[in-house]
Amino acid sequence: MKSLQQKVDAIDFSERARNDVQALLDNEHISLRPKLDQNAVSKEIRKQRLLKAESDRVQSRVLFVTSNVSVVSAESNERQQLRQLREVFDEVHILVVGNFPEHYKTSERLDANVWLYTASSRFISWRADAAVEIASQQLAFGKGFRPDLIVALDPFESGVAAMKIAQKFSRPWQVQVTNSDFLYVDDFEKAQKGNEWRLPTAYKVLKTATSIRVSSDRLLQDISASITSISDISILPKYYAISHLAQLPKPTETLFPQFNFTVLYIGDLSSKSTFYQAIDAVRLFLQTPKVGLAVIGTGSSKQHFIERATLYGIEKQLLFLGQIDDQSTYMQSADVLIMTDNDSDSDMIVLKAAAVGLPIIATKNQLREELFTTGEDAFLIEQNNVEGLKKALQTFVNTNAKRTQFSHNAKQVVQNRIEEDPLLYRIAYRSSIEKILYAESASIARADSAAMITQAHNAAIRHSKSLSTIDGVEMKVPEP
């Protein structure tokens, strides 16, 4: 797999420059939609109470920047998730950057303390400037800027917009990376229009950000290796919303009618994938035509795995299904999950499988050993132990009662051991974001000393006072 820097270096910057020149020749300017009473939201939020306690805790105001245009839809899950953060932040401002139709409304109030704004341009590289203008119109009052911190929900259009807004208004900012395609898919720049711009842009954004949050261990490792200047980089908290999966009705028809026994693997198929272990463990069973291996996932090494299966003569028994968001139906149709990865993303897959009652064979890690008892509700095998994976699979193939037992017991583990309090998750998510308020001070003071944490906090407060005020009220810096 090419490194992020190598991918950036391979981009034809001269071609991109020609495109920008052509855009200028076309005389296309940033398309900011007509502002119907554009100051209405600004006037309204000036009236909001500037200090609000949550158990005597000051809450910060946050601006989320996203290029996910589905957020403008009232029915979208992404919009609902952002709205629900009103419980843990004093104010939630959401800025959506994209290419919206003419006369699309610029601002909308979603809740007492939640606002949505849109910034539009036909050209991807100009959307950040549109976002800066909207933020200036809607969120800047005199010399002050309403949000205390800024969060980009992707490192592309959103990342550039957040970076420019943060620089203009002297605010700390964070970029969140939840999609790994630009790191692991070699032809990312060809996959979608605009990606030839997005790839080098992501590198610049990640190098410039005050803080980086990622969704998996693999992203953490790879971005940390590429962006060595960032000290505040960590994994976002996980919300295990899975217990509802146990209540799903059984599908009336299987998705794998060609097989009597189906092994399911879900995971990334990049060069760092451990899927080859799953192939080696299952290949002898795939000599039987009615046994199949279904694979959900994609990545740069998919062709390598196809060639490996062809070498073993089992390519007809492998189903590469691509990337599938709703995996629960496939889990219900399979007979066994085999999981050879050990990162946080694979942990979520294991828990989902347990919730739907799919028997599990997985390599050991701390979370799995804490939740499951091998031989009772899952088979947990030492890492790189292909023979152990084979023996566990042999047990499931030969003993239907064992699969039934593990299915029932794994469901009980999920129902009894997994905490699903959405408020606790949102508090953890807020804490992960608010660490950017102390990032500059934390680089001076080590976090392993309570006295130095206090020193860092006080320094952050002094720094915030020097940044800006809003109608004479200081920027909010909650207690760490």
Q: Is residue 479 part of a domain?
A: no
**C-beta atoms surrounding 145 within 10 Å:** 25
Query: Do residues 146 and 284 both lie within one domain?
Result: no
Tell which of 235, 263, 293 closes a domain. Answer: 235
Residue-wise pLDDT tens digits, 75-89 = 888 999 999 999 999
Phi-psi group of 424: left, alpha or beta (phi > 0 → left; psi -120 to 50 → alpha; rest → beta): alpha
Average pLDDT over residues 210-229: 86
Q: Of the ranges 21-35, 110-124, 306-320, which one carries the lowest mean pLDDT score?
A: 21-35
Q: Are 253 and 433 in contact (CB under 8 A)?
A: no
Query: Do residues 24 and 91 both lie within one domain?
Result: yes
Whether 52 has a pLDDT exceeding 60, the answer reads no
Residue-wise pLDDT tens digits, 421-444 = 888 889 989 999 998 887 655 544
pLDDT band at 35 (very low <50, low <70, confident <90, very high): very low
Question: Mean pLDDT in the chain?
Answer: 81
Q: What letter would DSSP give residue 283?
A: T
Taking CA atoms, 272 is separated from 42, 212, 233, 267, 348, in Å, by 49, 22, 21, 11, 18
**Number of folded domains that form the chain:** 2
Give the pLDDT of residue 457. 47
Average pLDDT over residues 303-325: 93
Give the pLDDT of residue 414. 86
Hey, what amino acid is at 477? V
Q: Are 304 and 334 in contact (CB under 8 A)?
A: no
Indicate the pTM of the whole model.
0.68
pLDDT band at 325 (very low <50, low <70, confident <90, very high): confident
Give the pLDDT of residue 34. 39
Q: Is 409 exposed, middle or buried (0-12, 13-18, 19+ CB in 10 A)?
A: middle
Can you spell out the DSSP letters for 364-420?
Answer: --HHHHHH--BTTTBEEE-TT-HHHHHHHHHHHHH-HHHHHHHHHHHHHHHHHH---
Whether 394 has a pLDDT exceeding 50, the answer reads yes
Q: How far apart are CA 267 and CA 297, in angstroms?
A: 5
The residue among 425, 246, 416, 274 whose CA lies nearest residue 338 is 274
Whether 200 has a pLDDT exceeding 70, the answer reads yes
Give the domain CATH number at 413: 3.40.50.2000
Tell which of 218, 235, 252 closes a domain. Answer: 235
Query: Do residues 313 and 404 both lie within one domain?
Result: yes
Whether 476 has a pLDDT exceeding 80, the answer reads no
Percent share of the chain, pLDDT over 90: 49
Give the pLDDT of residue 247. 84
Whether 168 has a pLDDT exceeding 90, the answer reads yes
Query: Do residues 160 and 263 both lie within one domain?
Result: no
Owner of token pair 């009597």:
260
Tell which of 235, 259, 283 closes a domain. Answer: 235
Q: Is residue 148 part of a domain?
A: yes
Q: How far apart are CA 204 and CA 90, in angstroms?
A: 31
Whether 466 has a pLDDT exceeding 90, the answer reads no
Whether 109 has a pLDDT exceeding 50, the answer reads yes
The residue among 223, 95, 221 whose CA lies nearest residue 159 is 95
Residue-wise pLDDT tens digits, 185-194 = 666 666 667 6
Q: Is residue 357 part of a domain?
A: yes
The residue among 132, 125, 183 whose CA lies nearest residue 161 is 132
Owner of token pair 């968001």:
325
Residue 184 has which token pair?
Answer: 């692991």
Query: Do residues 125 and 69 both lie within one domain?
Result: yes
Give the pLDDT of residue 37. 44
Domain holding 322, by residue range, is: 243-417
Q: Is residue 422 part of a domain?
A: no
pLDDT band at 32 (very low <50, low <70, confident <90, very high): very low
